[in-house]
Structure 1
Amino acid sequence: MTTIVTAAELRRDAQAFLRFKRAMGIVYRRAEFDLDGFVDFVAQHWGDYGEVALEDAISRWCARIPGRKAVTLGNEFGVIRQLCLYRRRRDPSSYVPEHALAPVKESVFLPYIFSHDEVRRLLAAATSHRGRFIGAPMLRALFLVLYCTGLRLGEAVRLRMADVDLDRGSLLIRHSKGRSRIVPIRADLVAELSRYTAERQRLVYAHRQANPEMFFLRLDGSALTVQSASNAIRRLLRELGMKPPSGRIGARPYEFRHAFAVHRLTAWASAGVDVHARLPWLSAYLGHQNVLGTEVYLKATPELLELASGRFEQHLRRSRRPR
């Protein structure tokens, strides 16, 4: 049976669907953007009250931009399919598209993983940085927080003084991806952040300001922004040859998070630790919603794959030994 809808009806259903999801604690911001785009597409082509077969509307919406990446289309399609499943609760005969319409759900993108030598070069460059707005002590501390904790850039930049507990050795990450978490840090990072805090206090006094709320400050005493931090990191990546002189390809500021995860997994594997048993620990530390978001790092580098392969081969040899 063909399901006939209007844009006005879909808009009401989309809002009810969002309320339903958010009542369960799911933020669904990106999904709201995708839903609004789909409803606007229907309204643009058939008007607010013009009738259209839901199957046709979804098919044409999926094909609206030729040559799109399959993973992008798959993620957007997944939201629309969830809306259709929600509508089926009210009407069991309502149309729900098959997964085959946009089957790819997993990105084939592999991140740039900094080597240990590259991390040291980046840290040296940050330590000697002479910027107009960003000072070396702050940039060095930011790099260390990103690499030693795997925080997202936005999480690090948004740290407040009250979130950095150097006595207990922990960072409080507030409301990231819909929830908060406490991230323990090592004693050597505590020592580095203590040195930065002293420099930060001198900066505050030099500008005769009341103690600002934010932890990372620029040279004028203002709070660091994600954009200015990202720009500074990208400039260093280009200067060190880890990113081309122009364009979006190459290493990104986000790679510190990838490097932290892969280096931690590699260290565990080298020590003979059961990596899969530790994945939930790493997942919680990184703030992933589930362990599936952490498993992608297991195939991130040939070194890690070789270690995993070697351990599996040893396991097979032990299992074949006569008893």
Structure 2
Amino acid sequence: MNISGYQFQSCFAPYIKMFLHEKRAAGFIYESEEWKLKHFDIFCIEESIKEPCLSRDLVKKWGTLRDGEALVTCSARTSVIRQFALFLVSLGLEAYIPSNFYKAEKTVVHILLDAEIKAFFEAVDSYAPAVSITGFYRLAAEYKVLFRLIYCCGLRISEARKLHWLDMDLRQGTIRILHSKGHKDRLLYMPEDLTELLRTYEKVLYDKYHCLSDWVFPAREPERCLSNCTIDKKFREFWALTPYAEYCDKAPTVHCLRHTFVVKRMNLWMEEGIPLKEMLPFLSRYLGHQSPNETFYYYHQVAEAFRIIRSKDRTGKLMIPEVNTYE
């Protein structure tokens, strides 16, 4: 089933639509959550649920760990239903609110080393479609620019894939990010070499592939933008082609490119003796974060950060405490 075009049909359909509307009005993007709710809607139809009563049995059955499913995935499915249950209760409807979640062990984010970044983009640049179809070759050209844009500007995946050409000013080298997380808008300046790459890319799309899509990164069907699923899949494929994939404890994800951008930028400032405390507010706004603390959290997850921060910056000494051996 093509879940992207699926329309809610179960007895919960009107309430799910209201729930999504309320969440987005509050500033949440709620894309992956909508995808989970579509599967929940299908699940309710398959279970022949006729009344919009979120019973304990229904919630427990939905939240059962499936074969081959990761704990964190199951927890995410249950978490969305918990939020939906709270919404139903606020409307005066009966709903069981789940409270017990599968807990996955917290892992350290993979910050890509310079050699890993180089190997990854070599894999991206050498990619050739297995099938000789023009649309696939166009997509290959898109991947080369998409992943560089995410890495060089620290973009979220949703921000990059939803860019329109109207959002790009290639004369000034700027990008408008509209209605992002928290309904925030911001203006980003690109490095000159990235701006030039996008100018060339735009010309290739129009002149070579005759693609007149409004999207900067159109899908195979140009009226749509690339999906999260496609981007994640291609990232994993390209990473698997690097010599580091075999020896990596935790494989990176697309979002790791954003984390890497943040860490490398902060490292550079500290190595140059630039006070991190003064620069964090600017970086925070550039990334679309709520506060500098949210930005610093990225850095907090990196083991190497402890050594660099303690030797270079007073802010880190205040924000990252010593680790108690017995905790």
* TM-score (norm: length of structure 2): 0.64
C-alpha distance 271-76 of structure 1, shift in aligned 2 (>3 A): farther
2:152 to 135, 142, 148: 148
For 1:102, the equivalent position in structure 2 comes to 101
In 1, the alpha carbon distance for the partners of 2:170 and 2:231 equals: 23
1:163 to 150, 164, 167: 167
Q: CA offsets, 1:191-237, max 9 Å, x none?
A: 44326525753774467x5876555699xx99995688767655553
1:304 Cα shift?
1.0
Three-state SS of the structure 2 residue aligned to 1:184 is strand
C-alpha distance 90-200 of structure 1, shift in aligned 2 (>3 A): closer
Gaps in structure 2 of 5+ consecutive residues: 1-8, 130-136, 319-327
State the AA in 2 paired with 1:63. T
**Identity across aligned pairs (percent)?**
23
In 2, the alpha carbon distance for the partners of 1:300 and 1:29 equals: 25
C-alpha distance 183-10 of structure 1, shift in aligned 2 (>3 A): same
For 1:321, the equivalent position in structure 2 comes to none
For 1:63, the equivalent position in structure 2 comes to 64
In 2, the alpha carbon distance for the partners of 1:176 and 1:206 equals: 32
1:116 to 114, 117, 137: 114
State the AA in 1 paired with 2:66. I
State the AA in 2 paired with 1:48. K
In 2, the alpha carbon distance for the partners of 1:283 and 1:39 equals: 37
Three-state SS of the structure 1 residue aligned to 2:265 is helix
C-alpha distance 228-102 of structure 1, shift in aligned 2 (>3 A): closer
For 2:259, the equivalent position in structure 1 comes to 258
1:149 Cα shift?
0.4
In 1, the alpha carbon distance for the partners of 2:106 and 2:70 equals: 10
For 1:72, the equivalent position in structure 2 comes to 73
For 2:23, the equivalent position in structure 1 comes to 21
Three-state SS of the structure 2 residue aligned to 1:304 is helix
C-alpha distance 54-143 of structure 1, shift in aligned 2 (>3 A): closer
State the AA in 1 paired with 2:117. V
C-alpha distance 66-211 of structure 1, shift in aligned 2 (>3 A): closer
Q: CA offsets, 1:263-288, max 9 Å, x none?
A: 12333444566657755544432345
In 2, the alpha carbon distance for the partners of 1:234 and 1:29 equals: 21
1:30 to 23, 29, 32: 32
For 1:85, the equivalent position in structure 2 comes to 86
In 2, the alpha carbon distance for the partners of 1:217 and 1:39 equals: 29
1:46 Cα shift?
6.5
Higher Cα Rg: structure 1 or 2?
A: 1
State the AA in 2 paired with 1:267. L
* TM-score (norm: length of structure 1): 0.65
State the AA in 1 paired with 2:175. L
1:123 Cα shift?
4.9
Contact 2:24–2:30 (CA<8 Å) still a contact in 1?
yes
**How many residues are treated as equivalent by the alignment?**
297
